[in-house]
Amino acid sequence: MNQRFDTILKSGTVVNQDGEGVRDIGIVSGRIAEIGSLANASAAAVIDCKGLHILPGVIDTQVHFREPGLTHKEDLETGSRSAVMGGVTGVFEMPNTAPLTVTEAAFTDKVRSGTHRMHCDFAFFVGGTRENVQELPELERAAGCAGVKVFIGSSTGALLVEDDASLRRIFQVIRRRAAFHAEDEYRLNDRKSLRIEGDPRSHPVWRDETAALMATQRLVALAHETGKRIHVLHISTKEEIEFLRGHKDVASCEATPHHLTMAAPECYERLGTLAQMNPPVRSADHREGIWYGVTQGIVDVLGSDHAPHTLEEKSKSYPASPSGMTGVQTLVPVMLDHVNAGRLSLARFVDLTSAGPARLYNIACKGRIAAGYDADFTIVDLKRSETITNNWIASRAGWTPYDGMRVTGWPVGTFVRGKRVMWQGELVTPSQGEPVRFLETLKP
């Protein structure tokens, strides 16, 4: 049979639901058409992937791209440029922009601004507040919406719903899985005096492990009470991992590369406020506890929590310095380095970055390499050693906490719906990002 494809990816090692093996992938109209040996087929473009691993496109389910309102830090174009340079094919973006993404107008504006301007596919979270509870059922069903996000402890921006009564009202009206920033606001307020001026090592003392655990426990209780599903973002403590293993029916959770890679106090001594994040990076025993959650399958997804601030903003003296670091571009290389060091398998990396997001959020036609699915691929050279530098970072913020870190395992290609967007460190196709589609809202 002489089949004809738009593109054939030739002889890559495909990492897939049926294991790992050398295969060709034929693409037609942005979708995967055939997987196997396509020696007799022809295509407008044949791309040699020998020696490279082809992974399902990495979906980063937590990024902050700052548009509208804070575009001196980042915007949808620069943030998504950073994503594809790092091998990421899809992002879920957070609602703490200015204005906050809490109304239909603000949400629609984001989708309009991102479409065919962002370099990867995208979805936006809508922020849950006391004021918009009644609109949430409608808002969470909008095309391009990843669901509702609630901050139950305050971080960057004004989004905050700290009390159980208001949270309960939100839980009662929503239908989809909602995502939460889980730090207990009351405890954070009580402990503010523990911050030491000029010393970011006091950040995890102020925002301690109990604040994170208390918030996660409250959310799980509300989820059981109301019969809803929750996703706990950026787990930072070993106690939350131990707690959540008993509640996998209602709760999924995310780990971030920084909580898996850095540890206090070393990161604060070396990086100062650049390591300042909410929830904080904690001591090495918490890092090990989160790794345990990865190896045991308790952690469902990896998200970067890409939260850019300018170096000037970050150079303010703690605690005036804002919390957040870039991460969308370094997620793949930092985690592949962990794969090479034997801390997780490549199959588990794929599970956490594509199959995991697809399962939690019911993404349509993404998250695996299968005929009929979108041709989204993260193509990596597992043997390539590179040094991560600020210079490489495409984010407008222009820095990474991993500057100078030598890693083995590097993203060399990003395909979004059949288009080669990044290849060997160059952006090769103009922006074409579109909203991710979800099974629950195919027909809003």
State residue 100 phi and psi, 5-degree precision: -60, 150
Is cis: bond before 279, omega within 30 of 0?
A: yes
State which residue, 64 or 417, has the beta carbon closest to ligand DOR. 64
Instruction: Examine residue 400 and tell whether it contacts ligand DOR (CB under 6 A).
Output: no
To ligand DOR, the closest distance from the beta carbon of 334 in angstroms equals 17
Taken in order 232, 292, 381, 45, is the CA torsion positive or negative? negative
Question: Which positions from 86 through 145 interact with ligand DOR, judged by CB under 6 A?
Answer: 96
**Which among 230, 220, 224, 216 has a CA at the least distance from the CA of 179?**
230
Which of 278, 291, 263 lies closest to 325 in space, CA to CA? 278
Regarding 181 and contact with ligand DOR (CB under 6 A), the answer is yes
C-beta of 14 vs 277, nearer to ligand DOR: 277
| In the complex, minimum distance from the CB of residue 395 to ligand DOR, in angstroms, rounded to a whole number | 13
The secondary structure element, H or E, covering residue 5 is: strand 4-16
Residue 216 interacting with ligand DOR (CB under 6 A): no
Alpha-carbon distance values, 284 to 34, 185, 214, 238, 405 (Å): 45, 25, 21, 10, 19
Residue 127 CA: distances (Å) to CA of 225, 385, 391: 22, 40, 33
Fill in the per-residue mask, 297 to 336: x = in contact with ligand DOR (CB under 6 A), - = not in contact.
Answer: ----------x---------------xx------------
Query: Closest separation between CB of residue 132 and ligand DOR, Å?
Result: 19
Nearer to ligand DOR, 155 or 216 (CB): 155
Centre a 10 Å sphere on the Cβ of residue 391 and count the other Cβ atoms it contains. Answer: 10
State how far the alpha carbon of 125 is from the alpha carbons of 200, 381, 441, in Å. Answer: 30, 32, 14
Between 181 and 348, whose beta carbon lies closer to ligand DOR? Answer: 181
- Nearest C-alpha neighbor of 309 from the set 195, 236, 396, 203: 396
Q: What is the DSSP letter of 363?
A: B
Which residue's CB is nearer to ligand DOR, number 156 or number 431?
A: 156
Number of residues this chain uses to bind ligand DOR (CB under 6 A) = 10
Contact (Cβ atoms closer than 8 angstroms) between residue 119 and residue 80:
yes
Q: How far is the CB of 4 from ligand DOR (least distance, A)?
A: 47
For residue 10, which phi and psi values (nearest 5 degrees)?
-100, 125
The smaller minimum CB distance to ligand DOR, of residues 178 and 379, is found at: 178
C-beta closer to ligand DOR: residue 96 or 414:
96
Burial of 373 (0-12, 13-18, 19+ CB in 10 A): middle
With H, G, I as helix, E, B as strand and everything else as coil, classify residue 230. Answer: strand
- Cβ at position 323, least distance to ligand DOR in Å: 3
Catalytic residue among 24, 75, 300, 305: 305
User: What is the nearest approach in angstroms of ligand DOR to the Cβ of residue 170?
Assistant: 18
For residues 265-304, which are near ligand DOR according to CB under 6 A? 277-278
- 228-247: which residues touch ligand DOR (CB under 6 A)? none
The whole-angstrom separation of Cα 49 and Cα 263 is 36
Clarify whether 305 is annotated catalytic.
yes
Per CB under 6 A, the list member of 156, 252, 395, 414 interacting with ligand DOR is 156
In the DSSP assignment, the letter for residue 142 is S
> Interface with ligand DOR includes 155 (CB under 6 A)?
yes
- Binding flag, residue 395, ligand DOR (CB under 6 A): no
Query: In whole angstroms, what is the distance from residue 120 CA to residue 374 CA?
Result: 12
Nearer Cβ to ligand DOR, position 93 or 374?
A: 93
Query: At closest approach, how far in Å is the CB of 129 from ligand DOR?
Result: 16
Lookup result for tokens 């002889």: 11
Q: Give, as ranges, the residues between 51 and 80 that touch ligand DOR (CB under 6 A).
A: 64
User: What stretches of 191-315 adopt beta strand conformation (E)?
Assistant: 230-232, 251-255, 301-302
| Closer of 126 and 307 to ligand DOR (Cβ) | 307
Smallest distance from ligand DOR to CB 279, Å: 7
- The 8-class DSSP code of residue 210 comes to H
Task: Give me the sign of the Cα torsion angle 164, 170, 172, 174.
Answer: negative
Q: Shortest approach of ligand DOR to residue 277 CB, angstroms?
A: 4
Catalytic positions: 305
User: Which residues would be at the binding site for ligand DOR (CB under 6 A)?
Assistant: 64, 96, 155-156, 181, 277-278, 307, 323-324
